[in-house]
Amino acid sequence: MRAMQSTKRPKLFWVSAGAPLVSVIVSTLLVFASKANNHGISVIGKLQEGLNPPSWHMLHFHGSHLGLVMKTGLVTGILSLTEGIAVGRTFAALKDYQVDGNKEMIAIGLMNVVGSSTSCYVTTGAFSRSAVNHNAGAKTAASNIVMSVTVMVTLLLLMPLFQYTPNVVLGAIIVSAVVGLIDIPAAYQIWKVDKYDFIVLLCAFLGVIFISVQDGLAFAVGLSIFKILLQITRPKIVMLGNIPGTQIYRNLHHYKEAVRVPGFLILSIEAPINFANITYLNERILRWIEEYEAEEDSKKQSSLQFVILEMSAVSAIDTSGVSLFKDLRKAMEKKGVELVLVNPLGEVMEKILKADEAQDFMRPDSLYLTVGEAVASLSSTMKDQSSTM
């Protein structure tokens, strides 16, 4: 409500900016006057005055717990960086500016190195404080300077005054600030575009609310990594068909007018080929061949003679990926089917040329620039062979 008020009525900005401070002062005075802390109201309690003492003399890089400390530091660092960058991108989307992830990591890392010498807590881009700062109407980085000076003065002079501040008011300030950042239309748009991404969003949202920011973000990052691994190990491969009257070949499931070419199985691999997915690709391609042959037998059409792999979307390949073609060629030779490659990119072609089986793919009838060219050339070869017979 305060955010809406400051947006619709700029002249009343001071109301939005001062509301959290007034709430803290009034609630603290009420608790102090009524001794409500003695009747079940949770308060901050006694706080220590002054700045953090130096702690660089307490840093030790030896001992039996060094391994555990390193592991804890690594996990904490990853989570703090994830939280900081996620918060930065959230506010960048709200205020329409760009966030440089490298600069964010350098800033957070430098703050933690300096903070570790002054007894500071692990520093990150806190979602709660950033939300309160945004909701108060801060526009530039100067607000951070004002906030830092205010915190320092508070630590030095005003700490005893916050002894009776109720925790419920602090929680209400954070919740009211965060609620204004919830974007229901954006969540609905993600649901329409990608259901899996919406599940990740929902897990992060619920995890942050009911568990903690760290656990919620960790769970969301884990699901995102799982999705990436799934895409790597199960790459997309589709069957292409010809659009009648053209030399254009498209996905049969997306273009209803596309038709199969008799005697050809045209497949498009739409991901890099590496050790993680060669087994899946090998099994999937051979299954395509078996299904295609079974369907042709049932329709009493001409038998399968060529398998064309369209590789313009294969951006990279490793040595295991190169061996995939050798295994496929051997398996297809037993079935009387020939393997043809179409438009392999520079890196892919370079590694195929360096492989032992390069001479098999350097034949004029095994490598083409376009699917249309391959089908036209191989079809004429099929006709010449049938006329000779």
What is the mean pLDDT of the segment spanning 172-187? 77
Q: In the numeric block, which tokens belong to residue 165?
A: 């501040």
* Pair 152, 227 in one domain: no
Q: Where are the alpha helices (DSSP H) in the chain?
A: 2-8, 13-34, 66-95, 101-115, 127-135, 142-153, 167-179, 184-193, 195-210, 213-233, 278-299, 319-335, 346-354, 358-361, 371-388
| 19: nearest Cα among 172, 157, 168, 181 | 172
Domain of residue 366, CATH code = 3.30.750.24
Using the structure block, give the residue that is written with the tokens 């209803």: 256
Give the C-alpha separation, 208 to 195, whole Å: 20
Which 3 state secondary structure label does DSSP give 18? helix
- What pLDDT score does 60 carry? 74
| 84: nearest Cα among 51, 110, 62, 61 | 110
- What pLDDT score does 169 carry? 85
Over the stretch 207-266, which tens digit does the pLDDT of each residue have? 888 887 777 878 888 888 888 888 888 888 899 999 988 888 998 888 888 888 888 889
* Pair 82, 163 in one domain: yes
pLDDT tier, 267 (very low <50, low <70, confident <90, very high otherwise): very high
* Pair 22, 100 in one domain: yes
Among residues 151, 166, 181, the one where a domain terminates is 181
* Pair 160, 42 in one domain: yes
Give the C-alpha separation, 120 to 49, whole Å: 15
Domain extent at residue 204 = 183-233
* Cα 306–chain centre separation: 39
Average model confidence (pLDDT) across the chain: 79
* Pair 173, 202 in one domain: no
pLDDT tier, 157 (very low <50, low <70, confident <90, very high otherwise): confident
- What pLDDT score does 5 carry? 45
Output the CA torsion sign for 201, 202, 203, 207. positive
- The lowest-confidence range among 186-200, 223-237, 301-315, 355-369 is 355-369
* Pair 343, 254 in one domain: yes
- What pLDDT score does 150 carry? 83
- What pTM was computed for the model? 0.60
Give the C-alpha separation, 170 to 44, whole Å: 10
The answer, yes or no, to whether residue 7 has pLDDT greater than 70, is: no
Asked whether the beta carbons of 56 and 117 are under 8 A apart, the reply is yes
- What pLDDT score does 360 carry? 59
Over the stretch 187-218, which tens digit does the pLDDT of each residue have? 888 898 888 889 888 888 888 888 877 778 78
| Edge-to-edge order in the sheet of strand 306-310 | 249-251, 237-242, 264-269, 306-310, 338-342, 367-368
CB atoms within 10 A of CB 151: 10
Over the stretch 91-138, which tens digit does the pLDDT of each residue have? 777 777 777 778 878 888 888 888 878 777 777 766 666 766 776 677
Number of domains the chain contains: 3
* Rounded alpha-carbon distances, angstroms, from residue 54 to 43, 59, 154: 28, 11, 19
